[in-house]
Amino acid sequence: MAAPGGRAAKGALSCPCPIGYERPLNRTYPVEHFAMTSLVTIFGGSGFVGRHTVRAFAKAGWRIRVAVRHPNLANYLLPMGNVGQIAIVKTDATDAEQVARAVAGSDAVVNLVGILWQSGHQSFEAVHAEAAENIAKAAKAAGAKALVHVSAIGADEESEAKYAKSKADGEARIRAAFPDAAILRPSVVFGPEDSFLNKFASLAAMLPFLPLIGGGHTRFQPAFVGDVAAAILKCAGDETTRGKTYELGGPETISFKALMQFLLKQTCRKKLLIPVPFGLASLKAVFLGLLPNPILTLDQVRMLKTDNVVHDGMPGFADLGITPDSLEAIAPSYLWRFRPKGQFEAVADEAAEVTS
């Protein structure tokens, strides 16, 4: 039977076979300057972007200290490096003393701490601004040579979205405490564990339709998580990147509607795409945002009112010597699992043709 990465079956053109994921996950990283001598502390290293960042630094030969709130949930990172190369330490980034202990002796520090919605004491202000300031001050005091802070395209102190305002506040605090920090602002990040394409693919499997908030006109420039990890690694080891801000977007700009059409094609599903005005979406988000793991919040609706693309004149992947992978080259390699028959969709189509 055909497996993911196999040839497309006859008559299955509308349901393309997934593309192998081997090349992006096995990038070659330079090791000659580090070779298990340099130490990097990565805050938020157990998250989506974090796991790929840890892998990148491990392959490049860095010693890695992963600072996370729940160390027991980060043990899966240990096999990504050699024995003793990766250590996990319990750290609450909002606690200045814990942060100072985590960065002690580090040559570089990476901040990946972030949340998509507020819950309890995990507010945007605390996580995106106060924690960022704690990390920057501690990195400076520890004598770290480099600090890489991952923010987001759309960070704007004038934004009506609390997420965007807190991201801008965090950047300002980083710059004040550690002027040479490299700040990276990615567009929406995609990859096998993402919470964007996977979320909508799950919805497409359950619902008879997919909503197009604001008509689906918002534009994105999706960035592959492997490329974002490579950019973080580059900034940690390259002095020419210090003090600069980069906006990271993939090779194509795509509207929300086109993105949903792409997703439905890759998952072999036919669903209605229903435009939902921002006003109605905001009303629904008020109630959906009360769920423990909300699929939509009022703040996210506000964010969708602004395009999420690289601004003209901003440095990006090209300035870091990185050629980003496209959505079409990567996403099929993990979206196949949302097809009605999974990896055997093309085989089922071929069998149906033979028996008809």
pLDDT in tens, 70-126: 999 999 999 999 999 999 999 999 999 999 999 999 999 999 999 999 988 889 999
Q: How much is the pLDDT for 11?
A: 39
What are the domain boundaries of the chain?
22-346
pTM, whole model, 2 decimals?
Answer: 0.88
**Residue 173 corresponds to which amino acid?**
R
177: tokens are 């405490």
Tens digit of pLDDT for each residue in 237-254?
999 999 999 999 999 999
Q: How much is the pLDDT for 293?
A: 86
Q: Indicate the angle between helix axes 225-237 and 48-59, nearest 10 degrees.
A: 50
- Residue 80's SS3 state is helix
**Residue 92 corresponds to which amino acid?**
D
| Whether pLDDT at 342 is above 90 | no
128: tokens are 């995106």
Q: How much is the pLDDT for 23?
A: 41
Q: For the chain, where are the E strands, in sequence order?
A: 39-43, 63-68, 86-90, 108-111, 146-150, 182-186, 189-190, 209-213, 219-220, 223-224, 245-248, 254-255, 272-276
Neighbour count for residue 294 (Cβ, 10 Å): 16
71: tokens are 């160390």
- The predicted model gives 339-355 an average pLDDT of 68
| Whether pLDDT at 2 is above 90 | no
| Whether pLDDT at 1 is above 70 | no
Tens digit of pLDDT for each residue in 175-199?
999 999 999 999 999 999 999 999 9
Q: How much is the pLDDT for 21?
A: 40
Q: How much is the pLDDT for 93?
A: 96
Weakest mean pLDDT among 57-61, 64-68, 239-243, 290-294: 290-294
Q: What is the average pLDDT score of the chain?
A: 89
| Whether pLDDT at 13 is above 50 | no
CATH number assigned to the domain covering 22-346: 3.40.50.720
Q: How much is the pLDDT for 121?
A: 85
Q: How much is the pLDDT for 20?
A: 41
Q: Is the backbone of residue 16 left (phi > 0), alpha (psi -120 to 50) or beta?
A: beta
| Whether pLDDT at 3 is above 60 | no
- The predicted model gives 141-154 an average pLDDT of 97
Q: How much is the pLDDT for 119?
A: 86
**Residue 209 corresponds to which amino acid?**
F
E strand or H helix at 53 = helix 48-59
Taken in order 169, 175, 177, 183, the sign of the CA dihedral is positive
